Amino acid sequence: MNNLKNIPSIDEMLKNERIKQLIEVYQRDFMVDVVRSATEELRRELFLKEEKIKKEKLMQAILVKVEHMVSRLAGGSLKEVINGTGVVLHTNLGRAPLGKGAIDYMVRMARSYNNLEFNLEKGERGERYGHVEEVLTRLTGAEAALVVNNNAAAVLLGLNTLAREREVIVSRGQLVEIGGAFRIPEVMKLSGARLVEVGTTNKTYISDFAAAINEETALLFAAHTSNYKILGFTQEVPLEELVKLGQEKELPVMQDLGSGIFYDKDDWGLREEPAVKRCVAAGVDIVTFSGDKLLGGPQAGIIVGKKALVEAMKKNQLTRALRVDKLTIAALEGTLLEYLLGSPKKNIPVIEMLALSREELREKAERLLELLEMRTEGLSGIRQLKLVELEDMVGGGAYPTYKIPGFGVEIEFSQPGLEKAAKILRLGSPALLTRRQEDKMLLSVRTLLPGDEIKVADLIAGVVQEKGDI
Ligand SMILES: *Cc1c(COP(=O)(O)O)cnc(C)c1O
């Protein structure tokens, strides 16, 4: 209790030289607030302490806390993370890292004014959504396109525009939750559309859809659900049949693809055809997908399809609330242009990572192993370093379990233990995320970006050195 009385007051703290210096750099109100938080934190800690502590020492303790709080905030909340997990699309890690073309284009548009909503030719107001529309329609073969905040927004907008206060028919097997917080029935409710479930969890036939159609029906809906491989066209009800039924009954068909794949070479390990193009060609009226899944671009929800339907969505007031900003448009167009004019396998990191051959992965792992051996030579904290084969994952939303063979380095620590080493790496700068297998650390090389290997070697060496210094 004596200690509590000894805690310097806020006013006393504000007279301290170091705090005065900080007030010259930062906002005064902010500094007062930080000093107050630091003081309160100390008060809580002292409550349990019996031994008496001098006032100067308490003041020092507050100063340390203040410095810590200020530097934590000033460094920014987002930190660079080196992804050693081998999960290519990790929603928790910001999904797709952008390629150079997208980044350069985005930075140019961020620095300057631009024609986001200005028609330079006519000298009058232009259309925000026109910027990516042509490249999207050329890539997908669709008549029209629209980009909104994310795919959840795209689905919401599609349902609201095409089926508000009317019925949407969906297979019961596709009503699952996708990627954590996205649930088809919830989004349906929000959109104002009425959900009509048909079929059973594991079997739905086209006749189930046909039987549910009545004058209230506005839309036939399909969602890509389970794993990556089935990707939309080997649904329980084949897409082609759904399209045929829609055409017969004059009802639009909307397909939520989740991931948009444009890359049509099958030599990148996944052996997939370009799903977006295929859905459009199959006659689906509206296809929605994410910009930051297999497309490898920024967070965005992309809608492609029939012109009249997309135009109706553009006019929907909801679009104003779901709209994308200039940075997203620039990053997305920059990414899409790599597919159209560039070299996606070289310039879109996500595609590059997935396209790495077994040999390339092995070489990458050998390089990392060599660097690690060099940097940790003579340090006793590492018991063993070993090249290993492991399983990477595509990750992201709808196909969390799709595995692909990869390579990496296995690290066995003696000091500090695995738990502690992983924590030090997480808190490092940049942070390094790894995997664990029993009592060993696994570092997959697939998801390491150019230049990461040397940083990884330094960070790992730092972990064992840290212990050695004590
Ligand atoms: C990932 C996913 C979504 C959500 O997309 P976001 O871009 O994350 O909003 C919706 N539907 C499917 C099928 C998905 O895979």
The helix or strand, by DSSP H or E, that contains position 288, with its residue range, turns out to be strand 286-290
Please give the number of the atom of ligand 1 that sits closest to the Cα of 301. 7
Residues carrying CATH 3.40.640.10, the chain: 100-347
Which alpha helices (H) appear in 75-191, and where do they start and end?
A: 100-111, 130-140, 151-163, 184-191
Q: Tell me what pLDDT residue 228 has.
A: 39
- Mutation to probe ligand 1, out of 182, 191, 229, 324 (largest number of atoms < 8 A from CB): 182
Q: What DSSP letter does each residue of 25-83 carry, written as one string?
A: HS-HHHHHHHHHHHHHHHHHHHTT--S---HHHHHHHHHHHHHHHHHHHHT-S---EEE
Give the integer Cα–Cα distance in Å for 126 and 343: 30
Candidates 417, 421, 403, 411; CA nearest to 442 is 411
Q: Tell me what pLDDT residue 48 has.
A: 77
Tokens read off for 428? 């490092």
Give the integer Cα–Cα distance in Å for 277 and 261: 8
Using CB distances shorter than 6 Å, the residues near ligand 1 are 150-152, 178-179, 182, 223-224, 256, 258, 290, 301, 397-398
- Mutation to probe ligand 1, out of 148, 149, 290 (largest number of atoms < 8 A from CB): 290
Q: Tell me what pLDDT residue 227 has.
A: 44
Give the integer Cα–Cα distance in Å for 313 and 310: 5
What is the value of pTM for the model shown?
Answer: 0.89
Convert the pLDDT of each residue in 68-106 to its tens digit: 999 888 889 999 999 999 999 998 999 999 999 999 999
Residue whose CA is at the smallest distance from ligand 1 atom 8? 151
Architecture of the structural domain at 100-347: 3-Layer(aba) Sandwich (3.40)
Answer whether 259's CB lies under 8 Å from 397's CB.
yes
Instruction: Report, as ranges of residue numbers, the positions in the chain whose pLDDT lies below 50.
Output: 226-235, 267, 269, 271, 273, 467-470
Q: How far is the CA of 259 from the centre of ligand 1 (A)?
A: 7
Q: Is CATH 3.90.1150.180 the classification given to domain 81-90+355-467?
A: yes
Give the integer Cα–Cα distance in Å for 321 and 335: 24
Q: What dihedral do alpha carbons 332, 336, 341, 345 form, nearest 10°?
A: 110
Q: Tell me what pLDDT residue 234 has.
A: 44
How many CB atoms within 10 Å of residue 235? 22
Answer whether 270's CB lies under 8 Å from 238's CB.
no
Q: Tell me what pLDDT residue 75 has.
A: 84
What is the widest separation between alpha-carbon atoms in the chain? 86
Token match 């890359």: residue? 263
Q: Tell me what pLDDT residue 288 has.
A: 96
Q: Tell me what pLDDT residue 134 has.
A: 94
Q: Tell me what pLDDT residue 469 has.
A: 44
Q: Tell me what pLDDT residue 437 has.
A: 93
Residues carrying CATH 3.90.1150.180, the chain: 81-90+355-467
Report the amino acid identity of residue 314: K
Convert the pLDDT of each residue in 414-462 to its tens digit: 989 999 999 999 999 999 999 999 999 999 999 999 999 999 999 999 9
Answer whether 129's CB lies under 8 Å from 147's CB.
yes
Residue whose CA is at the smallest distance from ligand 1 atom 13? 258
